[in-house]
Structure 1
Amino acid sequence: MIDFTNSAYVKMKQVDPNTVLGDIQPILINGEQVIGAYKAMRDYCVFTNKRVIAVNVQGMTGKKKDFTSLPYSKVSAYSIETAGILDLDSELEMYFSGLGKVKFEFTGQSNIVQICQIISGYIL
């Protein structure tokens, strides 16, 4: 499992979900749909209509991957920080019962408000 206690997970930018669909397709359940994908150098996270899937790509070849499933049903609270004039990055903090805080950082081009609306739609 990814160690979320060490600051932010990764600083990510939005990517086409099809670029990571091959990796996560086998772990999706019936009726689960990919809403968005965000990627850093190698690691990425995928927002679905059921959960956030955080993927930690490991090893030199990148064939080994750690998949962490973060279901919206376990979110007790979340907060977002939008990008500003000097600070171009945005942040999402989600608080999961039994796990604690998970923090994601996004580049300024990512639509953090859209992510907020998606999460709100599934947890409220």
Structure 2
Amino acid sequence: MGLLSGIMGSASEANLDKVEKLIDAIIVDGETIEAGYQLIRDMIVLTNKRVIVIDRQGVTGRKTEFLSIPYRSIVRYSIETAGTFDLDADLKLWLSSTAEPLCFDFRKSNHVSDIVKILTRHVCG
């Protein structure tokens, strides 16, 4: 499934001060952070202009890849809420340049709901 296929675990809300320091070098004028979610060492950050996937690599996690996804590149998305036995909520993003979606697991359905509100505002608005 591409870049994030090896990520294990579920996302939780990230500390926005930490997120801001991490992506300060790649933020442009007028861009603001709307939400951030931690995936073990990796992160998903939603700004008012794009989705940024931060992939920490290597044993120490010092090598970092920043994947920038402009909202205009997202052609569709789906959510699957948590159930009785499956406690994780899932988010899938299909990009115009890929056949397979990027997949993310969240511990709480309300995190996915918050992300969908942001995605809908930027993709459909």
* Distance across 1 between alignment mates of 2:4 and 2:43: 17
1:62–1:74 distance in 2 versus 1, CA, 3 Å: same
> Percent identity among equivalent residues?
33
Give how far 1:76 is off. Answer: 0.8
* Unaligned stretches of 5+ residues in structure 1: none
TM-score where L is the length of structure 1: 0.86
Greater displacement, 4-13 / 56-65: 4-13
* Distance across 2 between alignment mates of 1:69 and 1:117: 19
1:110–1:40 distance in 2 versus 1, CA, 3 Å: farther
Match of 1:23 in 2: 22
Match of 1:39 in 2: 38
Q: 1:12 touches 1:107 (CA, 8 Å); kept in 2?
A: yes
Match of 1:105 in 2: 105
Say if 2:86 is the partner of 1:87. Answer: yes
Give how far 1:20 is off. Answer: 2.1
Give how far 1:23 is off. Answer: 1.3
* Distance across 2 between alignment mates of 1:109 and 1:119: 15
Give how far 1:28 is off. Answer: 0.9
* Cα RMSD for the two superposed structures: 2.2
- For these two proteins, the number of residue pairs brought into alignment is 123
Give how far 1:59 is off. Answer: 2.5
TM-score where L is the length of structure 2: 0.86
1:73–1:94 distance in 2 versus 1, CA, 3 Å: same
Give how far 1:5 is off. Answer: 7.1
